[in-house]
Structure 1
């Protein structure tokens, strides 16, 4: 076996930047596998100079991979740390498969809950409230701040994963992102009330407005809970909207 190469700063930077393309070649078979392999390529090329060893390492990244994109830099950092130990024969190569089969999908659920279901919704509602209030520059500033914060999160977790390896999962667990996501959802509900208050049509009959809200809630319940045909629900929504306009006219 050839002596593994070193992962210098240039290789780490190239690897991190490739994490932004994890979803560029999404497939129904491997999901984000191609994007993960693209991100890992600089590190694997340095760690396994022997072609036979490199081919064996590549096999570990040809299986299904799917997680929230914000977690990919963190996971790639962990994978690089483990591959460095595997290349030096300090860890068995089966250890990486064990990590991928458990941690990846767990973090995917956490990412969907915190980032997808809470933080980005908070971002959207805050922006909508600010724009409705005529505060365009404040909305731009909020967007820029959160954009920088999210990229700082990606860089920080990438470094954390690479430096600590598998032990970095303990640090992530202590952040309690699931409960923070629940708190954000409560805040999002309050922001939604604020947005409704801002766009409330002052000249509309309260009973007509309540009826419209009831129709929307009923259609949402029918779609989410009763599993009704969505095309039929869209048709009913259009019919209800036309009827609502006819009443007002």
Structure 2
């Protein structure tokens, strides 16, 4: 259904509105529930913009209701959708188009693919790598262990924050080009490389654990080097077979304990 254009034109979305949208997007899952998933958080993020665009209470209510529907995607990639929806709602408020069904259809169509990309990159690659590098500082103990959480958050947020911030901006200004932008980033390919680096770090950490626990390199140096090589091959093969990161961490813990006790 097309919106009747009012003589009194609504306002435009400005930079302050986009800034508010970015900030509110961080609370997307604050009201997560099984009925609408992220639907309520989605409306919360868009709320200031919808109130600004729709002066008529009836149209404003309709705008809120259509975005209260079921919505579920990766929380970081929701920023791309929020930006694009803000642009579409602005056009609808000014021109009556796109229609309500088109806006809902767009939101539903892109949520699935964006969820898949986000899960593969952030949950399946970046988070394990950041955790592995953080553990590299924690395992030796001492003051260096305090850097472990810092390293984890620095590496993780190096990717996480730009995606959330730029997602809203790209979504609003380049809504039709967002899929091309994501394709250029090649996050799926980057995720595969990050997983390989994480597995190398895990393999090296497992092999170095006996030395950290006091096992002498002089007496077992060759065996430790061989163990490191074999463990790196093992984790590379597990990655090729697409084993869960949780299983790989369990194998890391078991092999580390075996090495420590066998060489002690």
Please give the TM-score of this superposition, normalised by the length of structure 1.
Answer: 0.76
| Alpha carbons of structure 1 residues 149 and 114: separation in structure 2 relative to 1, 3 Å | closer
Which structure 2 segments of 5+ residues have no match? 217-222, 232-242, 244-264
Q: Distance in 2 between matches of 1:166 and 1:43?
A: 20
* Offset at residue 64 of structure 1 (A): 0.9
- The answer to whether the Cα contact below 8 Å between 2:87 and 2:172 also exists between their aligned partners in 1 is yes
Which structure 1 segments of 5+ residues have no match? 214-224, 226-249
Listed as ranges, the matches of 1:124-163 within 5 Å are: 124-133=131-140, 135-136=144-145, 139=148, 140-141=150-151, 143-144=153-154, 146-163=156-173
| Alpha carbons of structure 1 residues 156 and 113: separation in structure 2 relative to 1, 3 Å | same
Q: Distance in 2 between matches of 1:12 and 1:182?
A: 33
Corresponding residue pairs, total: 218
Aligned-partner SS, 1:130: helix
Aligned to 1:176: 186
- The answer to whether the Cα contact below 8 Å between 1:129 and 1:198 also exists between their aligned partners in 2 is no
Q: Distance in 2 between matches of 1:136 and 1:161?
A: 40
The structure 2 residue matched to 1:191, chosen from 198, 201, 225, is 201
* Offset at residue 93 of structure 1 (A): 2.2
Deviations 1:35-57 (A, max 9, x none): 11100101111111111111121
Q: Distance in 1 between matches of 2:130 and 2:99?
A: 43
- The answer to whether the Cα contact below 8 Å between 1:43 and 1:80 also exists between their aligned partners in 2 is yes
Aligned to 1:21: 27
The structure 2 residue matched to 1:75, chosen from 81, 91, 95, is 81
CA-based RMSD of the aligned residues comes to 3.4
The structure 1 residue matched to 2:124, chosen from 109, 113, 117, is 117
